[in-house]
């Protein structure tokens, strides 16, 4: 099995096999994070541009660390300090970067579909680090890696996603990826924050939090996205917390080995109680650790597929089906 595409834009276009390949590869890179020397030479000589048009702390740092641990050279670009604020178009910005011979672009953008547009127009790999309210594939993958590490096979597991589903690209990537792996996904939140027709993606909807968390193997709690609330969708923060905050007593209703997740940043006391966030079932910091490994795996797999795409006329040629590729794990 090989990943044979130029880009990683969403999980909707990934097969279950591709998702599993990324997770298996990430598992191997995770071991690198546990070493004293956390750096490998895999992407030596590659230049990666991190294009962030929207604020981000953990995703940006996580990509940056992943790139540095693979020995890539990196350039960080944030829209507020660039010529974009002088009116330059996205394509012009990137054409200029390409002229400087970059090899990959990691992009976060407030507009859904922006990375897809870019990927269509430039010959280098594009990784979507979150586009509007559409998808956040690397977050979906790191969540799945975290779940898999705690629970094993995800087939038939009850995964509950609680909160502001409407504005959440994390929820969309989770639903899409998890249903491909055979999990049972339940979405729970205020009716005004659950998109209509979300069940078409294969998830169930449950408006009662107690019923939703009953027997859950995972409760993944989303941040209430205060910056994306258009008028009228939420009564008040107090009312939101009263009805949707995950608290200690919910933990007793979950499966015995059930885990608590949150993609961050957390609004403590709004969607998640302090003692749930810091309690023994919380794997929130594990998610952060797994995020670096997943991003290393994606960068590596895309670099390999780009090499193959460059070296062949047709994009369908695959390298021999070996066990798992040699990912250059000797220390740099
Ligand atoms: C998420 C995002 O930006 O979509 N955060 C993240 O990447 N860790 C979720 C959020 O902003 O609430």
pLDDT in tens, 15-24: 999 999 999 9
**Token digits of residue 27:** 């598992």
pLDDT value for 24: 97
- Shortest-distance atom of ligand 1 to CA 56: 3
Residue 265 CA, ligand 1 centroid: distance in Å? 7
Q: Tell whether omega for the bond before 193 is within 30 degrees of 0, i.e. cis.
A: no
The residues, ordered by sequence, that sit 6+ positions from 231 with a Cβ below 8 Å of its Cβ are none
Mean pLDDT, residues 95-118 taken together: 92
- Shortest-distance atom of ligand 1 to CA 170: 4
pLDDT value for 81: 63
pLDDT value for 227: 73
pLDDT value for 265: 93
Q: How confident is the model at residue 231 (pLDDT cuts 50, 70, 90)?
A: low
CA atoms of 14 and 317, how far apart (whole Å): 18
Q: From the CB of 190, is ligand 1 less than 6 Å away?
A: no
Q: How confident is the model at residue 78 (pLDDT cuts 50, 70, 90)?
A: confident
Q: Give the three-class secondary structure for 208.
A: coil
Q: How confident is the model at residue 40 (pLDDT cuts 50, 70, 90)?
A: very high
Structure-token match 């994606």, residue found: 298
H helices of the chain, where?
A: 16-33, 58-69, 90-99, 114-121, 137-151, 169-180, 209-213, 237-244, 248-251, 274-277, 284-311
Confidence check: pLDDT of 315 > 50: no
DSSP string, 223-279: P--GGGPPTTS-S-HHHHHHHH-B-HHHHTTS-TT-EEE--S---BTTTB-HHHHSS
Mean pLDDT, residues 269-274 taken together: 96
Count of all residues that appear for the chain in the document: 332
pLDDT value for 317: 43
pLDDT value for 318: 47
Mean pLDDT (the chain) is: 90
- Shortest-distance atom of ligand 1 to CA 108: 3
**Facing residues of 158 across strands?**
184
pLDDT tens per residue across span 25-34: 999 999 998 9
Confidence check: pLDDT of 313 > 60: no
Residue 264 CA, ligand 1 centroid: distance in Å? 6
CA atoms of 258 and 170, how far apart (whole Å): 20
Mean pLDDT, residues 164-193 taken together: 96
Phi, psi of 99 (to 5 degrees): -60, -20
Q: How confident is the model at residue 85 (pLDDT cuts 50, 70, 90)?
A: low
Q: Tell whether omega for the bond before 265 is within 30 degrees of 0, i.e. cis.
A: yes
Phi, psi of 50 (to 5 degrees): -100, 110
């Amino acid at each position: 099995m090989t990943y044979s595409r130029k880009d990683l834009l969403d999980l909707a276009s990934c097969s279950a096999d591709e998702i599993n390949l990324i997770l298996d590869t990430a598992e191997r890179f995770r071991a690198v994070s546990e070493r004293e020397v956390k750096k490998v030479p895999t992407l030596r000589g590659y230049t990666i541009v991190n294009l962030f048009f929207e604020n981000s702390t953990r995703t940006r740092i996580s990509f940056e660390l992943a790139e540095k641990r693979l020995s890539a050279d990196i350039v960080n670009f944030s829209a507020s300090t660039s010529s974009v604020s002088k009116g330059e178009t996205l394509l012009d910005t990137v054409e200029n970067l390409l002229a400087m011979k970059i090899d990959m672009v990691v992009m976060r953008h407030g507009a859904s579909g922006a990375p897809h547009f870019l990927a269509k127009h430039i010959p280098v790999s594009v990784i979507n680090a979150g586009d509007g309210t559409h998808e956040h594939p690397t977050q979906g993958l790191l969540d799945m890696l975290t779940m898999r590490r705690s629970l094993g096979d995800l087939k038939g597991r009850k995964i509950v996603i609680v909160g502001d589903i409407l504005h959440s690209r994390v929820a969309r990537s989770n639903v899409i990826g998890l249903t491909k792996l055979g999990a049972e996904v339940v979405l729970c939140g205020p009716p005004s924050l659950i998109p209509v027709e979300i069940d078409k993606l294969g998830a169930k909807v449950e408006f009662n939090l107690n019923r939703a968390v009953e027997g859950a193997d995972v409760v993944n709690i989303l941040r209430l996205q205060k910056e994306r609330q258009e008028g009228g969708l939420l009564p008040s923060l107090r009312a939101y917390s009263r009805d949707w905050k995950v608290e200690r007593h919910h933990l007793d209703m979950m499966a015995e080995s059930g885990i608590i997740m949150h993609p961050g940043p957390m609004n403590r006391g709004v969607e998640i109680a302090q003692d749930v966030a810091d309690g023994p079932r919380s794997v929130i910091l594990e998610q952060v650790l797994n995020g670096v490994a997943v991003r290393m795996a994606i960068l590596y797999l895309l670099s390999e597929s780009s090499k193959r795409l460059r070296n062949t006329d047709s994009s369908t040629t695959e390298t021999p089906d070996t066990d798992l590729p040699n990912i250059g794990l000797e220390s740099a």
